[in-house]
Chain A
Amino acid sequence: MDPVAVSVKNLTLRYKTTLAIDDISFEVAGGELFGFIGPDGAGKTSLFRILTTLLVPTQGACQVEGLDVVKDYRQIRNICGYMPGKFSLYQDLTVEENLSFFATIFGTTIAENYDLIKDIYAQIEPFKKRKAGKLSGGMKQKLALSCALIHKPQILFLDEPTTGVDAVSRREFWEMLKRLRDGGITILVSTPYMDEAEKCDRVALMQAGKIMKINTPAEIIKDYPHALLSVRAGDVYPLMKELMKYPGTHRADTFGQSVHLSFKKGEIQPAELQKHLSTKGHTNVEIEEITASIEDCFMDLMTIN
């Protein structure tokens, strides 16, 4: 296996006046499960479309398995599997028809590569006579993955595969990806869900066409420079306003019912903060020291960049 599966150098993509990808460089090693984390509009889909030879970059060099995405696009199409963000199989064909259609246009058959998709396809095989449009979200996703895998690709591009899929199916899906990776397939996956970052070997945090940071999830968390408190009180919004004003506060972000408060180590004492909030009339105040999640890191990087 090639030690470098994907290499991108100074890649820029411009749509007329908008800069979709702004001078990014990175490498993905063979056999890695690599995640791109970022909100909508960060440039994840554009990046994937370039790597799968659907878009031509404005500037920069991209190689997939040593092949240039512009010059050798035809060979790349033989070795990569792509699952677009939007479900894009034939809704009016059955599960089985979709799969054999894609097998045929890749010049193979279902039987030939059945081993590879067995785990995934077995779960939807009972419904193989059902039309793809009538499948549930999780099943559609499994079918799409099967179709992307049917020609035994060396590298798999999954663009937001878990968007709009329930929590259980999402977990199952990541299990499948890990098994595929263990089988030797390089996987690039994008997701807007920060919590999924921890399931990747390495992640790139993307924002507004730029990569803010690339590392293993554990290292990214270790690099988090601040101390962090999770603060809970009755009402989130007044609490948030109060914490923004509190001396020593670096950032305050809402996380569901609680607020994550970041600050320079030692500048804020939880006990003092508790007293302060009580005097300001906040009830049921709970303060807890926590370690950062990827989302905290992401928020922090956004203020820096």
Chain B
Amino acid sequence: MRTIRYIIQKEFLQVFRDKAMLPIIFLVPIVQLIILVNAATFEMKHIRMSVVDLDLSATSRGLIRKFEGSPFYQIKQFSFSYQEAMNQMQQGKVDLILNIPAGFEKNLMKENHARAQFVINAINGASAGLINAYSTIILLDYNRQTALANFNNSAPSSLRNIHTEYSYWYNPELNYKTYMVPGILVLLVTIIGLLLSGMNIVREKEIGTIEQINVTPIVKIQFITGKLAPFWIISLFELAFGLTIGKLLFNIPIEGNLWLIFLSAAVYLFVILAFGLLISTISHTQQQSMLISFFFMVVFILMSGLFTSIESMPQWAQTLDKLNPLMYFIKIMRMVLLKGSTFADISRHFWALVIYAFFIVNLAIWRYRKVA
């Protein structure tokens, strides 16, 4: 026990003596939270659009006014040539073209239906989908309005349609930040935990101190515990620090029990630190360790459900994602922070993490014994 305590003490001494470490520990969370949370947003605020109105009727102008009035759209160009509008899109200057053909109003009045066209830049598929959804809603709304005006009370039966009311639970204002902060916090803890632990033991290999350690009677498990405990503590501290910033800066809701968050984090960190240890047993230099950690981190993060919803992934990817520890922890964080879930609600994810931790810790220790 005294030995472990001394190794921990030595690790902390080295961590804090490293001039780059303190800025990393304190700056990374602040920068990540401020930049990522504000920047990585899916809300469409400034959809640049070009309008080709060949009808120039009261109805077409009314439709355009609807778009003008919406805070999401910025009309960049009015044109009589579809080709001209298309050129703008090709140059990347507009995201959406509203194409209203001649005879729009006439057709609507006489034949009861008319065509208009949306042309959407779909280089970014996600935002194209959103633009389509927003625009269609505006169009439908306008449709209903004109129908009401035209038919007045003469044909009420044609207006009998289903109207959907939305109510967004757990995030009533659809505040993107509320949704992002818990995920970014997971990212933070993962980066700090994985990189630091992955590089730490490799460093001992690189400078040769592992030789000197190996000839001592110290038991490997003592050594590993002593080496990883500081990063466990630092990562938990990071989480606390990040939550504080999230609360102060973004006023994220903390509905559930904080202890539940930290209990899950404690287990999650076992997974991450053991993963780092595993990486350090298969690499010989810190660069190698960094690259391998990066590889896994990119895959884990992109598949974690932080940016894209897991439910919309193909089935095989969802199955594969069961191996992604980030996925579980992000779910737990969002559920507990936003929804106020209790242990019973998250227990499935929690036990998944426990089992994961058990396997990976054993794997890492087995591999470490074999190699060193």
Q: Give the interface of A toward B (CB within 8 A).
A: 52-54, 74, 77-78, 80, 82, 84, 86-93, 97, 101-102, 104-107, 147
CA distance A54 to B216 in the complex (A): 10
**23 A-B interface contacts by CB (under 8 A):** A54-B215, A74-B217, A77-B216, A77-B217, A78-B217, A82-B212, A84-B208, A84-B211, A84-B212, A87-B208, A89-B212, A90-B14, A90-B207, A92-B14, A92-B18, A93-B13, A97-B13, A101-B6, A101-B10, A104-B3, A105-B217, A107-B2, A107-B217
Determine the chain B residues whose CB is within 8 A of the CB of A101 once the complex forms: 6, 10
**The 9 A-B residue pairs with the shortest CB-CB distance in the complex, in nearest-first order:** A88-B208, A104-B6, A82-B215, A77-B217, A86-B208, A78-B217, A105-B218, A88-B212, A88-B209
Q: Is B282 interfacial (CB-CB < 8 Å)? A: no
Determine the chain B residues whose CB is within 8 A of the CB of A97 once the complex forms: 10, 13
- Whether A93 and B14, one on each chain, are in contact in the complex, defined by CB atoms closer than 8 angstroms, is yes
Apart from A89-B212, A107-B3, list 19 A-B contacts with CB within 8 A: A54-B214, A77-B215, A77-B217, A84-B211, A86-B208, A87-B208, A88-B209, A88-B211, A88-B212, A90-B207, A91-B207, A101-B10, A105-B3, A105-B6, A105-B213, A105-B216, A106-B216, A106-B217, A107-B2
- Would you give the 0/1 interface string for B177-218, flagging 1 where the beta carbon is closer than 8 Å to chain A? 000000000000000000000000000000111011111111
Q: Is B17 interfacial (CB-CB < 8 Å)? A: yes
CA distance A78 to B209 in the complex (A): 18
Look across to chain B and name the residue whose beta carbon is closest to the beta carbon of A88. Answer: B208
- Would you give the 0/1 interface string for B1-29, flagging 1 where the beta carbon is closer than 8 Å to chain A? 01100110010011001100000000000
Look across to chain A and name the residue whose beta carbon is closest to the beta carbon of B17. Answer: A92
Determine the chain B residues whose CB is within 8 A of the CB of A89 once the complex forms: 209, 212
Determine the chain B residues whose CB is within 8 A of the CB of A104 once the complex forms: 2-3, 6
CA distance A102 to B6 in the complex (A): 10
User: Taking A90-B14, A104-B3 as contacts, is the C-beta distance between A80 and B209 under 8 angstroms?
Assistant: no
Min distance, Cβ B44 to any Cβ of chain A, angstroms: 50
Determine the chain A residues whose CB is within 8 A of the CB of B13 once the complex forms: 93, 97
- Would you give the 0/1 interface string for B120-162, flagging 1 where the beta carbon is closer than 8 Å to chain A? 0000000000000000000000000000000000000000000
CA distance A91 to B18 in the complex (A): 11
- Whether B10 and A53, one on each chain, are in contact in the complex, defined by CB atoms closer than 8 angstroms, is no
Residue in A77, A87, A93 whose CB lies within 8 Å of B10: A93
Determine the chain A residues whose CB is within 8 A of the CB of B213 once the complex forms: 105
CA distance A89 to B7 in the complex (A): 14
- Whether B215 and A53, one on each chain, are in contact in the complex, defined by CB atoms closer than 8 angstroms, is yes
Which B residues between 195 and 248 are near A, CB-CB below 8 angstroms? Answer: 207-209, 211-218
CA distance A91 to B211 in the complex (A): 15
CA distance A78 to B217 in the complex (A): 6
Determine the chain A residues whose CB is within 8 A of the CB of B214 once the complex forms: 54
Look across to chain B and name the residue whose beta carbon is closest to the beta carbon of A101. Answer: B10
Which B residues between 10 and 53 are near A, CB-CB below 8 angstroms? Answer: 10, 13-14, 17-18
Q: Which of A54, A92, A101, A105 has the most CB of B within 10 A?
A: A105
CA distance A53 to B10 in the complex (A): 25
Min distance, Cβ A206 to any Cβ of chain B, angstroms: 21
Determine the chain A residues whose CB is within 8 A of the CB of B6 once the complex forms: 101, 104-105
CA distance A272 to B17 in the complex (A): 70
Look across to chain B and name the residue whose beta carbon is closest to the beta carbon of A147. Answer: B212
Min distance, Cβ A243 to any Cβ of chain B, angstroms: 44
Determine the chain B residues whose CB is within 8 A of the CB of A92 once the complex forms: 14, 17-18
Min distance, Cβ A93 to any Cβ of chain B, angstroms: 7
Look across to chain B and name the residue whose beta carbon is closest to the beta carbon of A91. Answer: B207
Q: Which of B17, B208, B212 has the most CB of A within 10 A?
A: B212
Q: Which of B6, B207, B218 has the most CB of A within 10 A?
A: B207
Look across to chain A and name the residue whose beta carbon is closest to the beta carbon of B210. Answer: A88
User: Taking A93-B13, A105-B3 as contacts, is the C-beta distance between A88 and B215 under 8 angstroms?
Assistant: no
- Whether B216 and A102, one on each chain, are in contact in the complex, defined by CB atoms closer than 8 angstroms, is yes
